[in-house]
Structure 1
Amino acid sequence: MSQLKVTRQRAIIDRRALATAIEEVIEEHGAEAARQTIVELLRAALDKGRQELTKRLADKPAAGHEITNGYAFLVDQIIRVVHDHVTGDLYPVANRTAGERLALLAVGGYGRGEMAPYSDVDIAFITPAKPTAWCEQVIEAMLYFLWDLGLTVGHSSRSLDEMVRMAKSDLTIRTAILEGRYLWGDRDVYQMAEDRFWGDVVPGSEAQFVTEKLAEREARHKRMGDSRYVVEPNVKDGKGGLRDLQTLYWIGKYVYRVRSAEELVDKGLFTQQEYRTFRRAEGFLLAVRSHLHTIAKRGEDRLTFDLQREVAKRMNYADRPGKSAVERFMQFYFLQAQHVGNLTGIFLAQLEERTSQKKVRRGGLLDRFINRRERTTVEGYMLRGNKLSAPDDRWFRDDPVRLVEVFTIAEREGLEIHPETIRMARRDAGLIQGNIRKDERANAAFLELLSGRKDPETVLRWMNEAGVFGRFIPDFGKVGGQMQFDMYHHYTVDEHTIRAIGLLSQIERGELEEDHPLATRILPGLKYRRALYVATLLHDIAKGRGGDHSVLGAELALRICPRMGLTKAETELVSWLVRYHLLMSATAFKRDLSDPKTIEDFVEEVDDLEHLGQLTVLTIVDIRAVGPGIWNSWKRQLLGELYTLAEENLRLGEDDEARRQKRFEAKRAAVAELLGDEHRHLIGELDSRFDRDYWMAEPADIIAINLPHYAAAKRLEDSLSIHTEYYPARGATLITVMGDDHPGLFFRIAGAISLAGANIIDARIHTTKVGKAVDNFLVQDPLGKPFKEEQQLTRLKKKIEDALMGKIDMVGSLAARPLPRTRAEHFRIAPLILFDNEASERFTVIEVNATDRPALLNRLTRAMFECSLIINSAHITQYGERAVDTFYVTDLLGDKIYSKDRLAKVEQALLDAIAAGEPKVEAAE
């Protein structure tokens, strides 16, 4: 470990002055009596040093190396003063024996000199042999001083023999000692420890160390989400974080004996430019970690939503049109994480190459025979270890189109690209200029890769990380590393897009038929296959520009598609898909699919079966690629239902009434089949209760649940009957409430369900011809999971029953209920109320956009009740912290609401209801 590089050291801490002050106190009071005063002197010096470093971080917010070296230096001096005081004043020995010797090693991150403000202080106490009583006394006294200062100390005390034995058997100990830095104490003992480590521990264990370190890295990545593009990354342990850079250094130091990362250049593992990239990424990540610790006032390594804004502010990021300061900061963060990934790939590939070269030198007749039979070249590229390798250093410079073609060949042939060739591509990516972007051969190669039949996702990710993707499609380069500051999107825009393309390819290959049967059935019948892949690439390409990214993206598509070689028809289709890529999900999740006008409006926009099929598949891969847990059976069923209704409309072309009658009759037949012989008679018996609107609104399986429930409640003359059942078709729990209908029933049910700890995701409200309410709710727990255990269902039913029968003070209980979703508190969605009298023939559609809060639905529906509105159906959608609730309403006479004054009053009432649920913001200190 090289010496710490710290400027103006005495401004941080003056060790000599501190030691002198301690001596003066001891002279006056004696060493034992002065202990508390000495601790106060040490604490004052530590606090002063921290204040100086906090100021330096504020003045130079990106100076990661300088600040972390500064904290290591500060702790060094404190420990040295403590050591000298303990050995000189508390336990002085005139003539120490051979065993009364002690060396202090800074290990771990402290050993590297990379200490964030609240990092642990890791110290190894090394003795020549078994620790003597004096050594144990010194170590114990020192630790008590450090603990009294509030430092978190990780410590070990070992003899040289113990150190060697434990380092051989424990990877963590071996790594810690690998980074050991002389801190203080007996230099000869330190040197013996160094010699024993490199002489007794390391030789012969290099391969094992590398294998274990890489396995450790893989396990860590899986724990952290296995992507460097998660939107709340862990700066230290996440993929693309500091630990990945440290792993490279550990391996380099262990295998090649380097003393600093810079020496990896001399070993040929990095170029000088790559080392500069290493250094920049490391400095940035260290600075971010220092800011996190400073803000949180503890060892915090996760860039959570609440901390991202503050770090961006401290690092002087500002808002720009279309991008907030926090989004610009996080985009730079992800670009650095990508650099870390690139460097890791280069380093490990070089290591693998050198290892394999040693293994392959076997010789012999058999080897020569095998080599003659294997391919040695593919389209001008050599095959080295079954990897595509450029034949010479000028390969891409001589023909920059090859920068695209190499990835196309890799995808087509199912081959990896040699790390040296990736390195050359990254170096030469700047050769892709306007003439290459217009080149027919380059565009044909890119289109072939994008719509590849084997694994376009993986190869496009290689292309992206090599810097070629963003050069060839500059508009894609602009969304590289770009996040959206919300709880819905889990990945950056470029990562989301590449994942969506991968899902599309997997569906086409038939690998996801169980998850996506509809898309698997649609894809083979589409006429314009290439257009779908291009639309998937471009659907989010205009994000971060300000304005509607769908509209801006559709305009970009008209420019990009012809360049790629798409026909006029394909170009127009891609532009339409980008423009309307959110239409199907918005219709399925926010509109009433039983309302004929919903389907008519959707079909009018879609126009034909090709557009419908293309849009359906794009919608599915777009939602699925948002992140884990976003796609569920509820969304699958709603999209499938919309597709079926739209397809039927487009195919049949009959008049509306005839088509509705056919659906009505088909629904009755399906329900009769589900009811079986025991309950089939209920269809006819209850015809006088349930009108056709009910039959058209509810799925057949829910009707088959409702009819026996209604008949039983009628027979028992129940004024309130509640049924709960796990509903696997939508990954939710069905709650049916039947009873006497009366104004305000919906908001009371919504409040009761909220008190029961459930969230409503869909609701249908029906009143029978004899004035009975039949209300169906689909609910999930706060984590988006269904209630399915019998005990859960019984408890849910009882809670709702008690609330509706007045056994619980609902208003008071809702007000006192703690907020379970604290992460949403870091976001503010500007509330927006939209009225639409064209979306339905019979109802005014009200769409409410607001920050998702517990009991929001209860407050909104209560406000509508107080405005004398009748709710027919409600459709509840969450996009992370954003709630989008849609209601189909009439006035008390069953008419739409057209009066501007009336609509304005409803809007204000809803805004007031939203505001009532907002948490109070504490005044800033």
Structure 2
Amino acid sequence: MSPCPFTESDFLGCFEQDNPIAAFKNAIAAENSHLKLRFNPDQATAGLLTEKARFIDNILTACWLHFLGPAADLHCLIATGGYGRSELFPHSDIDILVLLADADPADYQHSLSGFCNFLWDIGLKPGLSTRDVDDCLTAAQDDQTVFTSLLEMRLIGGNTELFEKLKSRVSSDALWPSDQFFPAKMLEQQKRYAKYHDTAYNLEPNIKEGPGGLRDLQVISWVFKRHYNASSLRELIKYGFLPKSEYDNLITARDILWRLRFALHNLTNRCEDRLVFDYQRELASQFGYVDRNEQPDVEQFMQFYFKTVVDIERLNEMLLQLLNERLISNKESLTPIPITANFSSIDGYLEVSNKDVFQKQPLALLEIFLILQQSPSLKGIRASTIRLIRKNLPLIDENFRHNKQANRLFMDILRQPRGITSQLKRMNRYGVLAAYLPDFANIVARMQYDLFHIYTVDEHTLFVIRNLRRFSLAKHNNELPFCNNIFLLIAKPDILYLAALFHDIAKGRGGDHSTLGETVARNFCLQHELPNHDTKVITWLVRHHLLMSMTAQRKDISDPDVIHTFALQIGSIEYLNYLYLLTVADIRATNPSLWNAWKDALLKELYISTHQALHRGLHNPVARSERVQENKKEAREELLKLGISKTTIKQSWQHLSDDYFLRYSADEIAWHTIAIAACQESELPLVLLRPQTQRGSAEIFIYTRNEALLFSICTATLDQLGLTILDARIITTADQYVLNSFQVLEQSGEAINDLYREVHICNALRQGLIAKKAKASKNIHKQSRQARHFPIETSITFLDDPSHKHTIVELVTTDHAGLLSAIGRAFTELDIQLHDAKITTIGSRAEDMFYITDPQSRPIDDDHKKQQLRTTMLRYLDLKN
């Protein structure tokens, strides 16, 4: 198919039509459609990018001549940025510079305004600046980004001599010489990386600005062009920066990102550079991916993308290091300083003593990372040596992996006092980790397509190890001091690091990744001849790495029986210490936004309770009655101190069951008692709010007569107020009053810290309870844009209650506004008593547990009634959806 035939003359002719704006718009739409038809995801797009740039050249030239008239030859119309490079995507910004001659610009203001306005009218949305030569140089001197855009300027039309004058002045060594320009671009890249948490492995990556994206290639191009006045990246071969094979890899990776960006623009009909969920599945289909071996098409597609950008990220690291040597470093720093027989330091980077080091001594492929740990003054590995590492990766074969000296080297790396995280990341980036641990290769660049895991599995794994390392360092003590204190009790930190390394290593293989990972970990431990005890701890941690988080979030940890059962599973304080640290590090490395004070306090409470149970002895568990009496005694002593009489206490507690005193702390019991004792019947419902509890959340306490829909009204109101419900406790007294408490946070995950907000929440709840319905208002509990792409099949399961007091209903479904309220209405319709609710939301996935009985407070054992409840719950959920 031939290029779309719109020439400069065609566009000049458009001005003679009755409606030139419509004529231009039609031409632009036709060209975009033409490019979309010609685009093939399997073919290079360079020609299409150039064609689009030439098409815009023709439009701008025609408009320039029409609006400027005779003055068109006096001034210059210049393309800058990506447009200057002739890399114009379907909906790219069109950056242009109007370069004025020395004449008074006021003489041409009307013409220039007409030119600019017309471009907006026809939908081009140009990024336009108007300057003379001196203005350009001043702006460029003050801002390296302006200078960078001028590096790539290209004349579209106008005064050639004026353009060459500006080009000559910009090329002068006086303006941003290489030794100033290079550090400026490095700082700019560092800040850009920080916006993306220094990782390319984000769930919705930006293919232009993110690490390993197109901007990384442009940085290389700008620095290279500034120093060598190079016309293309191919000259990297000429000047000895890249061999042809690596240059070809670089261009292949760039072409992949170009094709992806082109497809994104076509798909969205706008300048979209983020691979957001809305488009990932469609792009996966366009690029030929289909579901295969239990791996969804979109996960395969994203793995393809991530492997591409990690190649660019690595090449960016190498090239910028080499450019730094050429442009910045002095000759003295480039003199080799021997470190070992195999390695020297050049400009602070580790370099092989000769090119045959790895061939002659393959174990040096691991030794090099140990040397980096032991020599903190070294900045990294020199680019030429990185190249040799990549070339010699096939040497890490089965014989290498079973070499006892190699095994000792790997364990030495994990046992060093510093540099563990940075070296493991480096080993992963260069391919050494995947070569040494073939099972790890399976998770490299593997994305889990959900909202819970926002990083690839390998990146998440390294973040877990980083988090564990931070627990060991005094300088990070302010983040999680409790974790730092527990870490001091750890005898062998390398046990933790290995458990972290293997905890998700079986993801994507089908089956239970914890069980499969346990096998991988055991084989590793046997191969590396770890002590039997260490092997047992590591494999147990891998197998049970989800146990603590699931127990804390899904069970009533105020129940001594729950704690005793959990303590039996843990078995020892040593295992508890390891599991607690691994659990916190894992959650924080999965999605930082999901970690909050509530989860911190919940896990800490479970740790402390379990520690006490283990210290007391598993043969001597705390009886429920003992815990009830302890809580009563502490609460009574606190109330007496505050002047509350024994009579008042007795009256307030007379209708409360042991469950109440078991599930609330002495502090909470005292707070409730004071409020209830001071409240008259006419003042009900009583609604109170404590903005900060020991668990880091706000507690909303409701005391009123038991009535239908009470739970549904409360949850609907809290949902409308934009609050996230973390936990719900429902106690019904013998005389049919209810004590409901909800642990809540703002939807942002923050605590409630505004007095007006507290009053508003209490008033809204009280009004809803009085009116016996939630106030009809706009729900501000918003479902995220991403959540729409993760519909979760609803499942309702009935579980056995170890205490035989309740029936436990487990609901798994897509989280949405009004979910708990709908469930409450279903319970009300069937006259079911709700006693407790454990609310767990993981990304867009709701995993909620409800503890229920029949009206006589008996468990529901009849299968017919269970099926009726399931049907009713599904009906209410469907109505809500």
1:121 aligned residue:
94
Task: Summarize the alignment of residues 272-671 of structure 1 with structure 2, pairs less than 5 Å apart.
Answer: 272-355=244-327, 357-358=329-330, 360=332, 376-378=338-340, 380-414=342-376, 415-420=378-383, 421-526=385-490, 529-653=493-617, 659-671=623-635
Offset of residue 766 of structure 1: 1.1
1:5-40 alpha-carbon deviations (Å, 9 max, x no partner)? xxx6x5223427736xx55x7xxxxx6xx2544444
Offset of residue 131 of structure 1: 5.6
2:31 aligned residue:
49
> Which stretch of the first structure deviates more once superposed, 878-887 or 595-604?
595-604
SS at match of 2:103: coil
* Distance in structure 2 (CA, Å) of the matches to 1:813 and 1:357: 65
1:921 aligned residue:
none
1:810-860 alpha-carbon deviations (Å, 9 max, x no partner)? 27547x778454432232011121211144431221111111101111111
Tell whether 2:10 aligns with 1:12. no
Question: What amino acid is aligned across from residue 221 of structure 2 in structure 1?
Answer: Y
Offset of residue 622 of structure 1: 0.5
| Cα distance change, pair 730–359 in 1 and its aligned pair in 2 (3 A) | farther
2:833 to 865, 870, 883: 870
CA contact (8 A) 2:424 2:462 kept: yes
Offset of residue 400 of structure 1: 1.8
Offset of residue 484 of structure 1: 1.7
Offset of residue 135 of structure 1: 5.8
CA contact (8 A) 2:564 2:618 kept: no
> Which stretch of the first structure deviates more once superposed, 492-501 or 261-270?
261-270
* Distance in structure 2 (CA, Å) of the matches to 1:167 and 1:509: 44
SS at match of 1:147: helix
* Distance in structure 2 (CA, Å) of the matches to 1:312 and 1:891: 50
CA contact (8 A) 1:725 1:788 kept: no
Paired residue total: 877
Task: Summarize the alignment of residues 662-741 of structure 1 with structure 2, pairs less than 5 Å apart.
Answer: 662-671=626-635, 675=639, 677-679=641-643, 681=645, 686-713=652-679, 715=680, 718-741=683-706
1:749 aligned residue:
714
| Cα distance change, pair 672–229 in 1 and its aligned pair in 2 (3 A) | farther
Offset of residue 802 of structure 1: 0.9
1:194 aligned residue:
167
SS at match of 1:562: helix
Query: Any unmatched runs of 5+ in structure 1?
Result: 1-7, 26-30, 364-370, 919-925
| Cα distance change, pair 530–159 in 1 and its aligned pair in 2 (3 A) | closer
* Distance in structure 2 (CA, Å) of the matches to 1:658 and 1:618: 27
1:858-881 alpha-carbon deviations (Å, 9 max, x no partner)? 111221222332111111111111
Tell whether 2:795 aligns with 1:828. no
* Distance in structure 2 (CA, Å) of the matches to 1:510 and 1:685: 51
2:84 aligned residue:
111
Offset of residue 247 of structure 1: 1.4
Offset of residue 398 of structure 1: 1.6
Offset of residue 681 of structure 1: 4.4
Question: What amino acid is aligned across from residue 55 of structure 2 in structure 1?
Answer: L
1:857 aligned residue:
820
Tell whether 2:777 aligns with 1:843. no
| Cα distance change, pair 68–131 in 1 and its aligned pair in 2 (3 A) | farther
* Distance in structure 2 (CA, Å) of the matches to 1:349 and 1:511: 30
SS at match of 1:396: helix
| Cα distance change, pair 159–887 in 1 and its aligned pair in 2 (3 A) | same
CA contact (8 A) 1:598 1:840 kept: no
Question: What amino acid is aligned across from residue 883 of structure 1 in structure 2?
Answer: A
* Distance in structure 1 (CA, Å) of the matches to 2:333 and 2:485: 51
1:754-806 alpha-carbon deviations (Å, 9 max, x no partner)? 23332211111112343321111111122122212111100110111111111
* Distance in structure 2 (CA, Å) of the matches to 1:629 and 1:686: 41
Tell whether 2:846 aligns with 1:883. yes
1:901 aligned residue:
864
1:143 aligned residue:
116
1:366 aligned residue:
none
* Distance in structure 1 (CA, Å) of the matches to 2:325 and 2:128: 38
Tell whether 2:184 aligns with 1:212. yes
2:229 aligned residue:
257
Offset of residue 346 of structure 1: 1.1
| Cα distance change, pair 281–672 in 1 and its aligned pair in 2 (3 A) | farther
Offset of residue 657 of structure 1: 7.2
* Distance in structure 2 (CA, Å) of the matches to 1:215 and 1:441: 41
Q: TM-score, normalised by structure 1?
A: 0.89
CA contact (8 A) 2:448 2:456 kept: yes
Query: Any unmatched runs of 5+ in structure 2?
Result: none
| Cα distance change, pair 841–563 in 1 and its aligned pair in 2 (3 A) | same
1:176 to 149, 152, 159: 149
Question: What amino acid is aligned across from residue 759 of structure 2 in structure 1?
Answer: T
1:456-515 alpha-carbon deviations (Å, 9 max, x no partner)? 111111111111111111211221122222222222111111111111122133444444
SS at match of 1:126: strand
CA contact (8 A) 1:489 1:627 kept: yes
SS at match of 1:871: strand
Tell whether 2:736 aligns with 1:797. no
CA contact (8 A) 2:719 2:781 kept: no
> Which stretch of the first structure deviates more once superposed, 663-672 or 390-399?
663-672
Question: What amino acid is aligned across from residue 856 of structure 1 in structure 2?
Answer: L
* Distance in structure 1 (CA, Å) of the matches to 2:875 and 2:243: 61
1:73 to 36, 54, 75: 54
Offset of residue 746 of structure 1: 1.6
CA contact (8 A) 1:756 1:800 kept: no
* Distance in structure 2 (CA, Å) of the matches to 1:537 and 1:400: 23
| Cα distance change, pair 882–100 in 1 and its aligned pair in 2 (3 A) | same
SS at match of 1:13: coil
SS at match of 1:260: coil
2:741 to 776, 797, 809: 776
Question: What amino acid is aligned across from residue 312 of structure 2 in structure 1?
Answer: V
* Distance in structure 2 (CA, Å) of the matches to 1:506 and 1:379: 33
* Distance in structure 1 (CA, Å) of the matches to 2:302 and 2:876: 34
| Cα distance change, pair 173–794 in 1 and its aligned pair in 2 (3 A) | same
CA contact (8 A) 1:733 1:788 kept: no
CA contact (8 A) 2:393 2:432 kept: yes
* Distance in structure 1 (CA, Å) of the matches to 2:236 and 2:334: 29
* Distance in structure 2 (CA, Å) of the matches to 1:113 and 1:159: 23
Question: What amino acid is aligned across from residue 455 of structure 2 in structure 1?
Answer: Y
| Cα distance change, pair 169–417 in 1 and its aligned pair in 2 (3 A) | closer
1:367 aligned residue:
none
Offset of residue 151 of structure 1: 0.6
CA contact (8 A) 2:41 2:286 kept: no
Offset of residue 722 of structure 1: 0.4
* Distance in structure 2 (CA, Å) of the matches to 1:837 and 1:865: 22
* Distance in structure 2 (CA, Å) of the matches to 1:671 and 1:130: 87
Determine what percentage of the aligned residue pairs are the same residue.
30
Tell whether 2:217 aligns with 1:245. yes
